[in-house]
A and B are shown apart, each in its own frame.
Chain A
Amino acid sequence: MITRKRLTAGVGILLATLAAGLGTALPAAADEPSSAASPKVELVLDVSGSMRTRDIDGQSRISAAKQAFNDVLDAVPEEVQLGIRTLGADYPGDDRKVGCKDTKQLYPVGPLDRTEAKTAVATLAPTGWTPIGPALLGAADDLEGGDSTRRIVLITDGEDTCGPLDPCEVARDIAARGIHLVIDTLGLVPNAKIRQQLTCIAEATGGTYTAIQHTEELSGRVKQLVDRAAEPVVTPVATEGAGSCSAAPQLKAGLYTDRQEFGKHRWYRVDVLPGQELRASVSVAADRAVNNDYGVLLRAVTVHGREIVRGAESGTGRTDAISSGLRYPKAEQDDVDGDVKPAAETVCLQLSNSFAAPSSVKTTPGMPVELTIDLVGAPDDAADVAAFGLGRGWWLLGVMVLTGLVAGLLFGWISRWRVAVWRTN
């Protein structure tokens, strides 16, 4: 009985294999347009007066940066569109208002002409202020357009003293635009305030912070970050979950992003056909300072409010994200009419988080959410705990041998007895 069920399953697997084989061939073709949208990177270099300081391998910070830029420009992968922006390069005066607007694009984002870019970098001389916030805004604007991945690499030796624009808030706002932009920061000075500011900027966008002590570290790291931008990744689709299931957006299989504020629910809807399994996984990123204990809960609920299954996770300590997932296999319908297409069940997904933050932390925009929805064939139900209901182990062998022996003896005796009866008659 079980074997027969398995055999039909085997045929199904064979068909699925063929289908999947075709499937892997096709998306490769579908990928091409997205790889044509080449990744964009902008290097943002601090050219403020303090870059004159000679404390990196005995040379000045700016010459270390120039040397690193030369190395990086030589190694930029072909497909990457690279631009360069400076901050504090032009205004040497003391007027804070003017100094804090001093950022300009040195080399436009586009196909790279290495010689031209190098010449442009060579002209730089340490001059003015450190307007990191405006520079980031400018860089984000430079990278506008297309749906490729975007990355800003910020190299600086000072903290933004311009105010009231907190560069960290700026970074979070840029990230919330939903343009898949990551900011990596490199600090040239081991100073607590700079480190905090740069870490905060990186954290807000899912980027990284690196403390630079040597020239080769600088060029190595920038090269690594540019290469990272060239890695093909899937760009998620922005969606906006609703406050209730009835108003929730209908999602198909795919990758989605959303934003979720502290302690707020988000609802999404997914249609699941009989014989399909819904797989949903979610991660909520902690893109700002949050309290040490946190959690996430993802529930699959019917439209009538009955909970089907849930995925929950909680954690403690430093983290980038907390994630959980669930799967919901919907059984095949038994009385399937050939003509009638079986009705899909609407499953409501409720996402909630239990992050909390000190009152000094801004709660808007919400934290980035990444949601993956998959719909695949439903799994075989297990008819038994063990595979195919088969047995295993010495106890099994003992029992079987004993049963065989007893059966053999019984048969022997019965046949002897029957022979004896036959002979007496």
Chain B
Amino acid sequence: MRTIRSNRVKRGFVGALLAGVTLLTSAGGALADDPSASASPAEGDAAGPTEAGTAFRTATAIQQEQTATADASTGDYLYWVFPADAGQRPTVRAKVTLPEDAARKGTSTWQVDVYDGLRRRQACMYGHQTRKATQDAGTVELSCVLRTVRAWSEPWADDPLPGSYFVRLTVVDAAEEDLGLPVHAEIEVTSAGMGGAHDVDGALAEPLVPGASSVEQAADGDDGADKPRVSLGSEPEDGWSSGWWTDRWLWTVGGGVLAALAAVFGYGLTRGGGRPSRVPPGV
């Protein structure tokens, strides 16, 4: 299931050291591609799903860059789940179209929450996570910019890690009379690549996707049919990154080359230009 992201191309620069490694891991990726493609049929659907789940367990899987929509009632808890990989900084944008104001009785406060694959709440660095809609407002737009996803962190930290992310959209405060009225919700997740500055050492054995181990157990074959199996959430369209690539390779190799050049230059300085005149020919 570990495949290599498109930035694999960049690896060419790194040279012979990485070439072997690239071959090795991309072979693994190619082998893993086929079963994973069949595992998530929603892949490549640009329009996105038109329903939302109502709990962690029933969350609708979406991909990044997909616009998912849902019709619901005010007061419903809407859940989606999307995959985020190391080095990405996901931004969740939600737009709620409220019922016509004639039907509404007061202001309502809407909120978007993001949870990681372990159902730990993830903080929003910035964005309008919670917003109040006045009685005459037609829509309310929410956003949440997560921290950059790291490849690894200590178990005692709650840093965002590669894996599934749950989005919960709901009204947290509304006039009693407004509960149950129809609303339309739209959600989109985009992410910015944060580059090598956030590339940390270490890697998870498996991305934080709920139910990751149930799959392995079914593979073991012992009463796999009766095993409770948690839905696998979703996987990025081009698979999880292998964690090998970081632009730190370029910086470090580049630094080494520059150092070598500087050394040659420095050496040359002590020699002066060309052959010293006082050295007799033939020595």
Residues of A within 8 A of B (CB): 3, 6-7, 9-11, 13-14, 16-28, 30-31, 33, 187, 190, 192, 195-196, 198-199, 206-211, 213, 217, 220-221, 224, 227-228, 231, 233-237, 252-256, 277, 279-283, 309, 311, 313, 315, 317-321, 323-329, 370, 372, 374-393, 396-397, 399-413, 415-416
By the criterion CB–CB under 8 Å, are B269 and A208 in contact? no
Measured in the bound complex, the distance between the Cα atoms of B269 and A206 in whole Å is 78
Known A-B contacts A33-B225, A228-B51, A313-B121; A199 and B179 likewise in contact (beta carbons under 8 Å) = yes
Known A-B contacts A30-B227, A386-B248; A14 and B25 likewise in contact (beta carbons under 8 Å) = yes
* CB nearest to B18 among chain A residues: A3
By the criterion CB–CB under 8 Å, are A17 and B2 in contact? yes
Q: Mark interface residues in B99-130 (1 if CB within 8 Å of A CB, else 0).
A: 00001000000000001111111000000000
Q: Mark interface residues in B244-274 (1 if CB within 8 Å of A CB, else 0).
A: 1011110110111011111111111111000
Q: Which residues of A contact B29 (CB under 8 A)?
A: 17
Residues of B within 8 A of A (CB): 1-2, 17, 21, 24-25, 27-29, 31-32, 34-36, 38-39, 51, 54-58, 71-73, 75-77, 103, 115-121, 151-152, 155-156, 158, 170-173, 176-177, 179-182, 196-197, 199-206, 208, 210-219, 221, 224-225, 227-232, 242-244, 246-249, 251-252, 254-256, 258-271
Q: Which residues of A contact B260 (CB under 8 A)?
A: 404
By the criterion CB–CB under 8 Å, are B263 and A408 in contact? yes
By the criterion CB–CB under 8 Å, are A372 and B230 in contact? yes
* CB nearest to A325 among chain B residues: B118
A-B contact pairs, 30 of them (CB 8 A): A18-B31, A24-B38, A283-B56, A309-B155, A313-B120, A318-B171, A318-B172, A320-B77, A321-B56, A323-B119, A324-B119, A324-B121, A326-B155, A374-B213, A375-B213, A376-B212, A377-B206, A379-B202, A379-B205, A387-B196, A388-B246, A388-B249, A390-B248, A397-B254, A401-B258, A404-B263, A408-B266, A409-B270, A410-B266, A416-B270
Q: Which residues of B contact A20 (CB under 8 A)?
A: 1, 32, 215-216, 219
CB distance from B133 to the nearest CB of A (A): 15
Q: Which residues of B contact A391 (CB under 8 A)?
A: 248, 251-252, 255
Among A23, A33, A409, chain B packs the most CB atoms within 10 A around the CB of A23
Q: When the two chains form the complex, which single residue of B24, B38, B73 contacts A209, counting CB atoms closer than 8 Å?
A: B73
Measured in the bound complex, the distance between the Cα atoms of B210 and A329 in whole Å is 16
Measured in the bound complex, the distance between the Cα atoms of B27 and A276 in whole Å is 26
Q: Which residues of B contact A315 (CB under 8 A)?
A: 121
By the criterion CB–CB under 8 Å, are A329 and B211 in contact? no
Q: When the two chains form the complex, which single residue of B36, B155, B170, B200 contacts A387, counting CB atoms closer than 8 Å?
A: B200
By the criterion CB–CB under 8 Å, are A404 and B205 in contact? no
By the criterion CB–CB under 8 Å, are B55 and A234 in contact? no
Q: Which residues of B contact A327 (CB under 8 A)?
A: 118, 155, 208
Q: Which residues of A contact B1 (CB under 8 A)?
A: 17, 20-21, 24
Among B54, B171, B172, B270, chain A packs the most CB atoms within 10 A around the CB of B270
CB distance from A31 to the nearest CB of B (A): 7
CB distance from A293 to the nearest CB of B (A): 13
Q: Which residues of A contact B151 (CB under 8 A)?
A: 387
By the criterion CB–CB under 8 Å, are A21 and B35 in contact? yes
CB distance from A77 to the nearest CB of B (A): 13
Q: Which residues of B contact A18 (CB under 8 A)?
A: 28, 31-32
Measured in the bound complex, the distance between the Cα atoms of B222 and A278 in whole Å is 20
By the criterion CB–CB under 8 Å, are A11 and B180 in contact? no
Q: Which residues of A contact B39 (CB under 8 A)?
A: 24, 28
By the criterion CB–CB under 8 Å, are A199 and B75 in contact? yes
CB distance from A367 to the nearest CB of B (A): 14
By the criterion CB–CB under 8 Å, are A376 and B56 in contact? no
Among B55, B244, B263, chain A packs the most CB atoms within 10 A around the CB of B263
Measured in the bound complex, the distance between the Cα atoms of B78 and A83 in whole Å is 27
Q: Which residues of B contact A389 (CB under 8 A)?
A: 201
* CB nearest to A381 among chain B residues: B202
Known A-B contacts A192-B177, A224-B71; A402 and B212 likewise in contact (beta carbons under 8 Å) = no
* CB nearest to B247 among chain A residues: A392
By the criterion CB–CB under 8 Å, are B229 and A234 in contact? yes
Known A-B contacts A28-B39, A397-B258, A406-B266; A382 and B205 likewise in contact (beta carbons under 8 Å) = no
CB distance from A36 to the nearest CB of B (A): 11
CB distance from A157 to the nearest CB of B (A): 13
Q: Which residues of B contact A33 (CB under 8 A)?
A: 225
* CB nearest to A210 among chain B residues: B73
By the criterion CB–CB under 8 Å, are B210 and A372 in contact? yes
Known A-B contacts A27-B218, A387-B201; A374 and B212 likewise in contact (beta carbons under 8 Å) = yes
